[in-house]
Amino acid sequence: MSQPDQRARLRPGALVPAVLGLAFAIYLTVEHYTPSTTLACPESATVNCQKVTTSSYSHVLGIPVALLGAVYFVVMTVLVLPPAWRAGPLRPVRLLGAVVGMISVLYLVWAELFQIGAICLYCTAVHVCTLALFGGVLWYSIGTPDTEA
């Protein structure tokens, strides 16, 4: 199988991290807006979801980061659906979205490690999904025409 054939065949695989990221982001958004404390995350010195999700870094311009993540993954899920890969004008939008996601993750990981002093397992899952999505979008976008099936 040639390299373009492999990339075309694997393109729907970018959908998996987008959908998983969406699921984790929705969970974190629900947790943010409900008074429950059901975050299934240990509260140790290093791993503490509550500390991370209630820190000053959990909002951007008054908007919860979890909600921004959910919106991001909704958009990216649409952009990596199989029909969207055939829409040539979406290539730069999809690539820009993946880059913005990675920049956001780098900032949030920095905040967790060096400002908050704790990490959230659910946030980490979102970060891993964003990295996988970035890798998939980058892999499929470089050197492969969008018109391939």
Query: What are the residue ranges in the chain where pLDDT is below 70?
Result: 1-13, 36-39, 143-149
The pLDDT, as a whole number, for residue 52 is 92
Assigned token pair, 96? 């820009």
The pLDDT, as a whole number, for residue 143 is 57
CA–CA distance, 124 with 79 (Å, rounded to integer): 23
Domains of the chain in start order, with CATH, are 3-141 (1.20.1440.130)
